[in-house]
Amino acid sequence: MRENAIEVRDLKLSYVSRQSYSIKQTLFQFKKSERNVVEALKGVSFDAVRGEVLGVVGRNGSGKSTLLRTLAGVFSPDSGTIDLKGNSISLLSLGTGFQPEITGRENILLNGMVLGFSEKEILEKQEEIIAFSELGKFIDMPVRTYSSGMNSKLAFSITAILETDIILVDEVLSVGDTKFRKKSYNKMRQLIDDEDRTALIVSHQENTLRDLCDRVLWLHDGEVRMLGEANEVLDRYMEFMK
């Protein structure tokens, strides 16, 4: 029996949302914004076995991205535990982890160090990352000048080439031009075929999840609605979404 790579127990996370008003309302009606507490995760618990590919589904606002960001350490939970069993982890998500005022090349070094790689290890892989990203001369321009597609290419390339034990993928396999999407998909298949690498994939692409995932975790309003074999959970989820 394979050991767990991730163990999550009773994970809870809330954040404050404020009702916005127009400047006119604020200045002339002196109306204060309303403070609402949103429970993004309400006691989520699950395990992921080493080498498993676990899909995560749920309608918008169900807590999928919040879960991945909490696992990656971007968010701190209010309570509960996350045990990564000493594994290195990387989050592949649009808009996460880049410093906009420095170049793509400099961001490669910065992101690699955040992932726990040494400068020597990153520099040895740097040209491979740049080549995979297909950014050309833009690699030496500030990231703030990048389009969302260019951001996703660089983010995917860093995660794909600097391989970690656990990969968290948040809706990026369908971003970019057709050629790059195909290349990214093939690279992701290569990565997750490693029996020691664990992956969590958030996606609205049903076929992608059926093709790549062993099991699927269905989140609904911040809670686990169902966890089981991929096709079984997806059949139930698609029926629910109808």
Q: Render pLDDT for 203-216 as a digit per residue (tens, 0 to 9).
A: 888 998 999 999 99
pLDDT of residue 98: 87
Residue 124, in any domain of the structure: yes
Same domain, 149 and 214: no
Same domain, 118 and 43: no
**8 Å CB contact between 209 and 216:** yes
Residue 211, in any domain of the structure: yes
pLDDT of residue 14: 95
Distances (CA, A) of 242 to 155, 216, 237: 33, 18, 9
Nearest to 21 by CA among 32, 10, 13: 32
pLDDT of residue 34: 64
More confident residue, 115 or 70: 70
Please state which of the ranges 76-80, 111-115, 125-129, 224-228 shows the lowest mean pLDDT: 111-115
pLDDT of residue 184: 84
Same domain, 140 and 22: no
Residue 223, in any domain of the structure: yes
Q: Is the pLDDT score of 20 beyond 60?
A: no
Task: Tell me which of 142, 163, 184 is where a domain ends.
Answer: 163
Same domain, 122 and 80: no
Q: Is the pLDDT score of 163 beyond 70?
A: yes
Which pLDDT tens digit goes with each residue over 83-113?
999 999 998 876 567 899 999 999 999 999 9
Instruction: Say whether 78 sits in a helix, a strand or coil.
Output: coil
**What burial class does residue 49 get, using C-beta atoms within 10 Å of its C-beta: 0-12 exposed, 13-18 middle, 19+ buried?**
middle
pLDDT of residue 159: 85
pTM of structure: 0.84
Task: Tell me which of 139, 163, 187 is where a domain ends.
Answer: 163
Residue 227, in any domain of the structure: yes
Task: Tell me which of 144, 163, 182 is where a domain ends.
Answer: 163
Same domain, 50 and 159: no
Same domain, 33 and 53: yes
Same domain, 184 and 154: no
pLDDT of residue 21: 53
Residue 187, in any domain of the structure: yes
Averaged pLDDT for residues 9-36: 68
Same domain, 122 and 159: yes
Residue 92, in any domain of the structure: no
Residue 48, in any domain of the structure: yes
Q: Tell me phi and psi for residue 213, to 5 degrees.
A: -95, 145
CATH (domain of 75)? 3.40.50.300
Which positions ≥6 away from 211 have C-beta within 8 Å? none
Instruction: Say whether 207 sits in a helix, a strand or coil.
Output: helix
Which positions ≥6 away from 171 have C-beta within 8 Å? 65, 93, 94, 202, 203, 204
Same domain, 183 and 127: no
Amino acid symbol at 86: G
**What burial class does residue 215 get, using C-beta atoms within 10 Å of its C-beta: 0-12 exposed, 13-18 middle, 19+ buried?**
middle
Same domain, 83 and 171: yes
Same domain, 132 and 187: no
* H-assigned helices in 8-118: 23-29, 64-71, 104-114
Q: How many domains does the chain have?
A: 2
Domain extent at residue 108: 97-163
Residue 205, in any domain of the structure: yes
Q: Is the pLDDT score of 129 beyond 60?
A: yes
pLDDT of residue 25: 57
More confident residue, 102 or 32: 102
pLDDT of residue 93: 77
Cα–Cα distance for residue pair 69/83, rounded to 1 Å: 14
More confident residue, 180 or 88: 88
Same domain, 25 and 124: no
Cα–Cα distance for residue pair 87/19, rounded to 1 Å: 40
